Structure 1
Amino acid sequence: MKIENGEYQVVINGILHWIKVEGKENNTIPLIVIHGGPGGNLYTFERTVGPYLAKERTVVYYEQRGCGRSGKPNSDNAYSIHELIDDFTKILRWMGINKVDLLGYSFGGELALEFSYAIPTIMNKLVLSGPSLMALKTQYMVQIAGFVSIADPPLVQKMEEILEEDTSIETKYKKVWGTVDNDTVDRLFFVNQDIARKYRELAKESNLHNTGLMLEALQENPAEIPLYERLQDIPHKTLLITGVHDRNTGIPISNIINRNLANSEWKLFNHSAHFPELEETDKFIREVLNFLKIP
């Protein structure tokens, strides 16, 4: 890798991309962190888990087009998986990287799998935390069921009424999200509500916002062959991490991924929901670093 520790802003495919390197002095295969959302950012990860990983690994952060501190494409539809793969490939080329490990969480786990499928020779190992499979309608069902399981009775009743409507699961999903309040969202994402509050404080501090454009574009222009039908063709050694209380993507989605990947191991975190890296930080760091060390 030809660049040193620090923050960079580099134009890739006409879009200014934010990139940061930590732990270059460790001289390891770079561990690139892939954020979720779709449309999220790395601000919280960069200030919580990332520095611990960078004590032993070379860690690279980058925020996807239209996300966080990176610039937006000219078109609101320019967020296809193909375009995200092309950005990533050119970022690796710019950095002078010919072998990488990936750590993707939530949608970032799904995107890490897409990168691995598209450019397999560059990939070494994958770490997937609470990964999604957006093409599956089951993904929407898991999340709606998750909301119902932790919502207060009046909100449960509203969601039950939405489920009775003669609409698509995607429409129901959007309507449920329009109904829930912040406290309910926090219970969906976290077991420990003190950590949920800290997460919200960091999100507010960042002043970075998810426009929703990437999610809409990916829903409107899905891959021709869904990722879940291509999982068996991804050969890389993979560590799956799932909080047993994850109601957002959850055990059903991780189980599908684990069953279909050729070379995966699965670790359950008993005191976590969707963000094991925040709720069981020490265990998360230990499992990730141990996995990356093994030949």
Structure 2
Amino acid sequence: MSVTEGTVPFRGHRTWYRVVGARRSGGRPPLLVVNGGPGCSHDYLDDLALLPEETGRPVVFYDQLGCGRSDHPDDPSLWTLDTFVGELAAVRETLRLDPVHLLGHSWGSQLALEYVLARPQGLMSLVLGGPIASAPAYQAETRRLKESLPAGVREVLDRHEAAGTTDDPEYQEACLAFYARHLCRLDPWPPHLVRSFTGMNRDVYETLWGGSEWNLTGSLKDWDVTARLGEIDLPVLVTSGRHDVVTPALVGELVEAVPDARWTLFEQSSHLPSAEEPERYRRVVGAFLAEVEAVAEADGGSRAAA
């Protein structure tokens, strides 16, 4: 399987990318993957790198600025939603991904939604994994999930949050109890998830999001595109886990609001069905992309050309 790596120039810095699978004239349109975080590398989504072998479709990954193999500029003014939406557009333009399918997971779903709502040309479909449409609604649900943790764990979390000592190892250890339930239920975590998690750029995460999943203090704490979901004019596949930090209640509301959306709920997964149920996840995504293309071909051309 061919693999091409390189960098895209962006705002005076370099964004690293990897293309898995050969891009051929007349071949299947690629899938551009936008990972979550904020502040994480793409590594935890590496199970999707098997899609080219299974479906003949190239998959494009990139590490967002400040993360992974991309440049890590010491410039806090860069950590804005506008930066990362612009970076997504730059990756797509530089690599000439047209037409293309777009997959955004978690924070990446927020970037994907912002990008799609600007109505760019050439998109064939949108896949949203563990999607967030409203930061306030998400915080309310994560606080509810936090309350279901054992009392001893909650006491540690509450004590350190009140004292402002969330960088204490005891607090970080307590957070792992939440992540083990609602981020990834595999034990142990797979190495590619560990790489993303341990390599997180906390400055990016805390500037945009905040101190924790249930304590949003960053610039996105009031972000909400719920009222605009009806504007999405693409076939949309939504995926999430039964035990997801983005709860079925939140996902159901999003699916109801998007005109052409379908939802696959992975019963054995939390936030990462791509890693927790990888074979089924790739089958579901691959089948959706193929169906979108078959409909477009039957209509005499891709919807992306509309």
TM-score (norm. length: structure 1): 0.82
Equivalent position of 1:31 in the other structure: 31
Distance 2:18 2:234 in 1: 25
Going from structure 1 to structure 2, the CA distance change for 1:65 and 1:285 (only over 3 Å counts) comes to same
1:186 to 180, 189, 193: 180
Q: Helix, strand or coil for the counterpart of 1:266?
A: strand
Equivalent position of 2:189 in the other structure: 198
Q: Helix, strand or coil for the counterpart of 1:120?
A: coil
Going from structure 1 to structure 2, the CA distance change for 1:282 and 1:36 (only over 3 Å counts) comes to same
Contact 1:125 1:292 in 2 (8 A): yes
Contact 1:190 1:272 in 2 (8 A): yes
2:237 to 217, 236, 239: 239
Deviation, structure 1 residue 214: 2.6
Matched, 1:258 2:249: no
Going from structure 1 to structure 2, the CA distance change for 1:204 and 1:127 (only over 3 Å counts) comes to closer
Equivalent position of 2:49 in the other structure: 50
Distance 1:242 1:52 in 2: 19
Going from structure 1 to structure 2, the CA distance change for 1:83 and 1:282 (only over 3 Å counts) comes to same
Contact 2:156 2:174 in 1 (8 A): no
Deviations 1:109-154 (A, max 9, x none): 2211111112432321011111123x432211222222332x3331
Moved more, 89-98 or 221-230: 221-230
Matched, 1:15 2:13: yes
Matched, 1:121 2:121: yes
Q: Helix, strand or coil for the counterpart of 2:76?
A: coil
Distance 1:185 1:269 in 2: 17
Matched, 1:217 2:207: yes
Equivalent position of 1:280 in the other structure: 277
Contact 1:103 1:127 in 2 (8 A): yes
Contact 2:156 2:171 in 1 (8 A): no
Deviation, structure 1 residue 156: 3.5
Equivalent position of 1:291 in the other structure: 288
Equivalent position of 1:168 in the other structure: none
Deviation, structure 1 residue 174: 10
Distance 2:202 2:20 in 1: 29
Deviations 1:26-63 (A, max 9, x none): 621110011001111111322x2322345321110011
Equivalent position of 2:80 in the other structure: 80
Distance 2:17 2:137 in 1: 34
Equivalent position of 1:145 in the other structure: 144
Distance 2:189 2:172 in 1: 23
Q: What letter matches 2:35 in structure 1?
A: H
Distance 2:139 2:196 in 1: 28
Q: Helix, strand or coil for the counterpart of 2:90?
A: helix
Moved more, 223-232 or 86-95: 223-232
Deviation, structure 1 residue 183: 4.0
Contact 1:104 1:128 in 2 (8 A): yes
| Percentage identity across paired residues of the two chains | 24
TM-score (norm. length: structure 2): 0.79
Equivalent position of 1:64 in the other structure: 64
Distance 2:172 2:38 in 1: 17
Deviation, structure 1 residue 270: 1.1
CA RMSD in angstroms comes to 3.1
Q: Helix, strand or coil for the counterpart of 2:77?
A: coil
